[in-house]
């Protein structure tokens, strides 16, 4: 976001034919001849004003704009007498100009400046009126536009990326309190795997438990890991998740993950080929207790990122567990109660993973969002600046505007300064998100 010309010489061969080369007086000149005839300047004054519109854009309340220049020219032979330059319309007090009466001879020009200082959060549309003795245009109006903004206008965009190769390790708590949770998870697994199918992902899905006391668990896959070629994927996952409730009451999710993805297990028959260098890695813990491993959350997170040395963002830890601190309970719907999963939630935060309360009565929504996280996608986008207000915030996904709505739209989290998309508004692979909002700021001038 060149221009060239060619000069050619053409020879005309004329045969022996008589041509009448005269031009009758009653015929008009051809268009190409009349086009090059200059129009005579008017004997009267003839005003020309440029530009005919001024746009000052959005400015913070009480902040002055840079001045914009208006040029007045006399294109007529008569003396142009500009008797007045004034402002007309509602909101003229937000504008000012430097023009006054003047006289211009043929071909002369003069300039004046117009400036804008909004006094309120409003849109302004006025006219700069130039009055002269031009007999045809005694009054010329220049439109002036400006907006008084609550804050400086700020716009940013995001793209929803995803990774086609995904390795997913489910870590299920098989202690005596987990019967209801695991049944609910298995019954809603279709919400997770459907997104993988729709995106045509190449996935590996393995299942281990939090039991590090039983040698038959201790980080070992409970069956062959699941791939797109697995027969009856939903049933296979349900069977693997259903590990009973006789496992150790000392749940060690971190230790189990490390064992599963380290030697000697990673090279064993069931684990061989599961972990692929170029794939994203998603760990998903399902537990109603906090981690009891000796590893801290920071040490575990550092180790997990180390499995993807070329791009540590490919490794994410995700958790279905109790809410931070006091945990959660849902006695009226699911009957599930859980203690706070603080260590797991810390690992989620350290790896930009996904957290959902295990006490939720609707696992299907959380599993759908979890599938996005596992594929390297996100439902949450972090803003660069802090909005001064949500009033007037415009959020679009691939050009479609979505309203603030916790079901099918976006919600704003002031604590993390982020937008989370819900339901039909969740951006699909490759789709773009644009956000326009106002931010607090100081006058530029």
pLDDT tens for 255-271 read 999 999 999 999 999 99
Contacts of 53 (CB under 8 A, 6+ apart): 142, 143, 144, 145
Please state, in angstroms and as integers, the Cα–Cα distance from residue 125 to each residue in 138, 142, 153, 172, following that order: 22, 11, 19, 63
**pLDDT greater than 90 at residue 366:** no
Strands 336-338 and 355-357: unpaired
> What whole-number distance in Å separates Cα of residue 1 and Cα of residue 308?
41
Q: Are the beta carbons of 54 and 74 closer than 8 angstroms?
A: no
What is the rounded average pLDDT of the residues 114-127?
A: 92
* Residue-wise pLDDT tens digits, 11-21: 333 333 333 43
Lowest mean pLDDT segment, chosen from 95-99, 176-180, 397-401: 176-180
**pLDDT greater than 70 at residue 333:** no
List the CATH code of the domain at 47-149.
Answer: 2.60.40.10
Segment (H or E) for 184: helix 179-187
> What whole-number distance in Å separates Cα of residue 270 and Cα of residue 266?
8
Contacts of 378 (CB under 8 A, 6+ apart): 160, 352, 372
What architecture is the 159-378 domain classified under in CATH?
A: 3-Layer(aba) Sandwich (3.40)
Residue 277 DSSP symbol: T
* Residues forming a β-bridge with 329: 337
Lowest mean pLDDT segment, chosen from 3-17, 69-83, 315-329, 417-431: 3-17
> What whole-number distance in Å separates Cα of residue 86 and Cα of residue 97?
8
What is the predicted pLDDT for the residue at 332? 64
**pLDDT greater than 60 at residue 33:** no
What is the rounded average pLDDT of the residues 377-393?
A: 89
Q: Are the beta carbons of 402 and 379 closer than 8 angstroms?
A: no
Q: Say what percent of the chain tops pLDDT 90.
A: 64
More confident residue, 270 or 334: 270
Q: Would you state the structure tokens that stand for residue 408, as one six-digit string?
A: 């099918």
Q: How many Cβ atoms are within 10 Å of 349's Cβ, its own excluded?
A: 15
Lowest mean pLDDT segment, chosen from 61-65, 95-99, 261-265, 315-319: 61-65
More confident residue, 264 or 334: 264
Q: Where are the alpha helices (DSSP H) in 73-140?
A: none
Rounded to two decimals, the pTM is 0.62
How many Å separate Cα 177 from the centre of its chain?
Answer: 41
**pLDDT greater than 50 at residue 9:** no
What is the rounded average pLDDT of the residues 354-369?
A: 86
> What whole-number distance in Å separates Cα of residue 188 and Cα of residue 191?
6
User: For residue 438, what pLDDT band results from cuts at 50, 70 and 90?
Assistant: confident
What is the predicted pLDDT for the residue at 278? 93
**pLDDT greater than 50 at residue 3:** no
* Residue-wise pLDDT tens digits, 174-228: 999 898 888 888 888 888 888 888 888 999 999 999 999 999 999 999 999 999 9
Q: Say what percent of the chain tops pLDDT 70.
A: 89
What is the rounded average pLDDT of the residues 285-308?
A: 97
What is the predicted pLDDT for the residue at 5? 28
Please state, in angstroms and as integers, the Cα–Cα distance from residue 147 to each residue in 54, 65, 122, 351, 409, following that order: 12, 11, 6, 42, 28
Q: In the chain, what are the domain boundaries?
A: 47-149, 159-378
What is the predicted pLDDT for the residue at 38? 58
């Amino acid at each position: 976001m060149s221009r060239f010309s060619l000069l050619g010489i053409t020879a005309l061969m004329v045969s022996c034919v008589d041509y009448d080369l005269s031009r009758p007086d009653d015929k008009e000149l051809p268009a190409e001849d009349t086009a090059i005839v200059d129009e005579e300047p008017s004997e009267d004054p003839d005003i020309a004003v440029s530009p005919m519109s001024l746009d000052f854009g959005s400015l913070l309340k009480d902040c002055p704009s840079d001045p914009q220049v208006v040029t007045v020219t006399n294109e007529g032979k008569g003396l142009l007498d500009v008797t007045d330059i004034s402002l007309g319309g509602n909101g003229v007090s937000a504008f000012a100009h430097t023009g006054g009466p003047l006289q211009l001879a043929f071909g002369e020009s003069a300039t004046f400046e117009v400036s804008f200082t909004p006094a309120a959060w409003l849109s302004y549309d006025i006219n700069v009126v130039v009055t002269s003795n031009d007999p045809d245009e005694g009054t010329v109006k220049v439109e002036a536009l400006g907006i008084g903004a609550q804050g400086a206008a700020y716009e940013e965009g995001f793209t929803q990326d995803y990774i086609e190769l995904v390795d997913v390790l489910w870590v299920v708590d098989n202690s005596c309190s987990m019967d209801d949770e695991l049944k609910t998870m298995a019954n809603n697994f279709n919400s997770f795997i459907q997104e993988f199918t729709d995106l045509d992902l190449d996935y590996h899905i393995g299942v281990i438990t939090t039991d590090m006391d039983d040698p038959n668990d201790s980080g070992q896959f409970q069956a062959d890991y699941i791939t797109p070629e697995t027969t009856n994927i939903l049933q296979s996952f349900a069977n693997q998740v259903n590990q009973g409730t006789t496992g150790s009451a000392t749940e060690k999710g971190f230790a189990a993950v490390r064992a599963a993805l380290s030697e000697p297990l990673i090279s064993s028959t069931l684990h061989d080929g599961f972990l692929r260098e170029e794939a994203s890695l998603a760990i998903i813990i399902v537990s109603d207790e906090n981690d009891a491993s000796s590893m801290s959350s920071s040490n575990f997170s550092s180790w997990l990122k180390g499995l993807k040395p070329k791009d540590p963002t490919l490794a994410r830890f995700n958790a279905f567990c109790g809410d931070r601190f006091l945990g959660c309970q849902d006695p009226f719907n699911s009957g599930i109660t859980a203690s706070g999963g603080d260590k797991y939630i810390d690992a989620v935060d350290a790896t930009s993973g996904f957290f959902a309360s295990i006490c939720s009565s609707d696992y299907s929504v959380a599993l759908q969002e979890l599938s996005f996280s596992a594929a390297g996608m996100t439902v949450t986008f972090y803003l660069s600046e802090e909005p001064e207000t949500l009033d007037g915030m415009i959020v679009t996904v691939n050009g479609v505007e979505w309203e603030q709505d916790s079901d099918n739209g976006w919600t704003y989290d002031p604590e993390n300064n982020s937008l989370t998309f819900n339901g039909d508004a969740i951006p699909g692979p490759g789709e773009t998100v644009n956000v326009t909002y106002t931010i607090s700021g100081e006058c530029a001038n």
